Structure 1
């Protein structure tokens, strides 16, 4: 089975799109007609470029308003089609997408539509062209793939088959199981697109809100599994109309697209019963269980790294919070601070002029080899850092937001010994230690990352496919300069939590990121930090008046929360307390105390935090 992409998914002119698709590793492309019409290359030049790049031209699309018309109108259909067939011969393309009629259809009769497709097939056959008939979600009469298949069956022509598009099927809520009733050799082409679940007219939804597989709400692995069971062996092609992708870097989008296709193929294979018979694969990376090693469940956060030229402001916060300085790396200007399982690296390498910002996260996995091989097969860009021969070499890849993601396991734990005093990390150095009965910081609760709006969908796919995290529902939090979009990525057991945020486009300040440190007794940590001179982010008195009205807290507890500038939330499963340290550069530290059953992040408190940070 081959991997293809429609040129409409990518920015740039046709030559740029072909080069990007080839460089990313696609086997072929489907040619969107406006890309040819608006370009300067002749059809022969387009074919020659594709041949040099090693990509096939798999589909010419779209051909519209072909069936369900009167005889005088159909005569014009044949005239238009013959011109396109001659053009396709020049391009070397043998399959054309024929969309169900949305504009000129006036005859709601399957026999009429089938007869017209049969006659169109006779004409196409003379040019060695096949017709892939597709039911558009907004078709005038034909908007269901099961009806389009019935019409193709009635046409009973070797040059007439169907095209199945996941958006047109799943957006209308049609059951894709009937795909398995279609003979695989009559499915001439397949187009894949995901989409968020919206209440919107189908045309607007399709033209502006499609996303790559794994980034929306459709079950594309299940959809693809039906195709495999049907015996389909043609290309799997991405057709994603999206305003963002047509504005972003063409090469990056092409890699992003291929990652999504590899992921959905792998998920589809794994959705099949063990031993299920599926078609043989063709050129390109094999579509079988060995194409991707299983996603190894992330088991924890090994470390968080903050990079900056001047670490003094960061180190002041960490020191006053009670973390212990473990020393400087033996060969790099990098310091390590710890408390319990919380490890914060402060990195001055390649940081000239840089304000403090969150630059890397270490993730522990049960199988380091599987995790790194999977990441590379999913086209995650590798990160290279200088490592001496006696030092632990940590594998890392670059996330779409620029964060470096390092993989670690029991074999890499020795990296901590590379810091002066780093061999003693067992929590035995005094009363401020995380294991002390008076409480303290015990680990990392979550890491909150912020990125550009155009990278958000790609980031969701990255953390889903590469790290095996699950995406929660997207939420929007009101801030002083607009809504902040947030989506939480979590491991199955909650050991790794990564909320992803997108700040409003009108927010001209730095995109803030933060690390949330877990505390079994948050109020004790805040009191000790205040004694050392740390001033927590001030919370307005109005918040506590509202808190009292919402939760009817014990007056003594409410007074203590107000005094310490600690925020509070509660649901049916438990409680959540949090407090915020001052922002330094583009990063801040949050302190968190959560009941075991509480799975949220105090979302109702986020507007208060955003407003307070904006004021300061």
Structure 2
């Protein structure tokens, strides 16, 4: 299988904190830098708790920049809430939104990531209308701080956490989320493309190329298993990029066609891989984010 586009690391390797679950922010930054990364994703709540000045100092010390951060809608001290969080929580989050966006800006973080619920307790038309309204408001508010909203399509069907599940479908593919962003009317929202979800939805390069120039705000990467039906894959099956069956050449070429040349952030939820020594996880993640694009000789 072809696994590259003929050049090493066409995207900047980046590390998502979920890959090193349970590690505090200073240790995460130390491990990321030791593993070879120069870009990271963060939880904005963790950055707020430590203070933007202290985080900036640590980033500078380790030669790191922040490519993106979750938590524009927070869920506790670390995790993000999805776009269709209940109304009371959403209204509460709006009250503290300016403070979070100030932290984004203070860290030079250009992208706020958010997850769209693929399923909901709301009927589809009601859920889509609510999502459009929230995307427009969050994106337009973020624009005032120089931050772009990146909305992720979640395509896995099995093993979803309760906050992303429900009896009614909402939008679970790149085309569906892109249409939703277009209908929101905001010029400051684009799609977060996740290679695992893209593969679960069929690994169609056209789903990416149809996003058009500027349609991709951020990219997260993980590989897929060699066995099993795509519709049955769960996030717990994510592999280091290059260790599975994903066609990295097709994925990279599609991103290049829409002009995306930014970070590619390794995001793993696989409990077996997360159990490895933390330094090994970081080093293997960087090696994978660099090497998955490079064609390999037959038999190696």
Is the structural similarity TM-score above 0.5? yes
- Of structures 1 and 2, the larger Rg is shown by 1
SS of 1:265's partner is coil
Counterpart mapping for 1:232-247 below 5 A? 232-247=260-275
Q: Does the 8 A contact of 1:101 with 1:142 survive in 2?
A: yes
CA distance in 2, matches of 1:123, 1:222: 35
CA deviations on 1:378-415 (whole Å, 9 max, x unpaired) are xxxxxxxxxxxxxxxxxxxxxxxxxxxxxxxxxxxxxx
Q: Hey, what's the Cα distance between the residues in 1 that align with 2:186 and 2:35?
A: 37
Q: Which structure would you say has the larger RCO, counting Cα contacts within 8 Å and 6 or more residues apart? A: 2
Q: Which residue of 1 aligns with 2:217?
A: 188
CA 1:18 to 1:184, structure 2 compared with 1: closer, same or farther past 3 Å? farther
- The 3-state SS of whatever aligns with 1:244 is helix
Check whether the contact 1:166–1:223 (CA below 8 A) recurs between aligned residues: yes
- Match status 1:144 vs 2:173: yes
- SS for the counterpart of 1:47 is helix
Q: Report the RMSD for the aligned CA atoms in angstroms.
A: 3.0
Q: In the alignment, what sits opposite 1:119? A: 137
Cα deviation code 1:323-370 (max 9, x no counterpart): xxxxxxxxxxxxxxxxxxxxxxxxxxxxxxxxxxxxxxxxxxxxxxxx
Q: 1:224 to 1:18 in 2, by over 3 A?
A: same
Preserved CA contact (<8 Å) 1:162 1:187: yes
Q: What is the Cα deviation at residue 195 of structure 1?
A: 2.4
Indicate whether 1:205 and 2:234 are aligned: yes
Q: Is the 8 A contact 1:65 1:103 kept in 2?
A: no
Gaps of 5+ in 1: 268-294, 298-467, 470-616
Query: Do the aligned residues in 2 keep the contact of 1:61 with 1:98 (CA within 8 Å)?
Result: yes
Report the count of equivalent residues.
267
Q: Distance in 2 between matches of 1:112 and 1:45?
A: 37
Give the TM-score normalised by the residue count of structure 1. Answer: 0.40
Contact 2:214 2:258 in 1 (8 A): no
Say which SS state the counterpart of residue 78 (structure 1) adopts.
Answer: helix
**2:285 & 2:82 partners in 1: Cα distance?**
30
Distance (whole Å) between structure 2 residues aligned to residue 41 and residue 115 of structure 1: 32
**Poorly superposed stretches of 4+, deviation over 6 Å:** none
Match of 1:25 among 36, 41, 57: 36
Q: Which segments of 5 or more consecutive residues in structure 2 lack a partner in the other structure?
A: 1-10, 72-79, 158-163
- Partner residue, 1:50: 59
Q: Higher strand share goes to which structure?
A: 1
Structure 2 Cα separation of the partners of residues 212 and 258 of structure 1: 10
Structural mapping, 1:113-512, within 5 Å: 113-137=131-155, 138=157, 140-196=169-225, 197-198=227-228, 205-206=234-235, 208-267=236-295, 295=296, 469=300
The change in CA–CA distance for 1:10 and 1:116 in structure 2 (over 3 A counts) is closer
| Change in CA separation of 1:112 and 1:48 when aligned onto 2, cut-off 3 Å | same
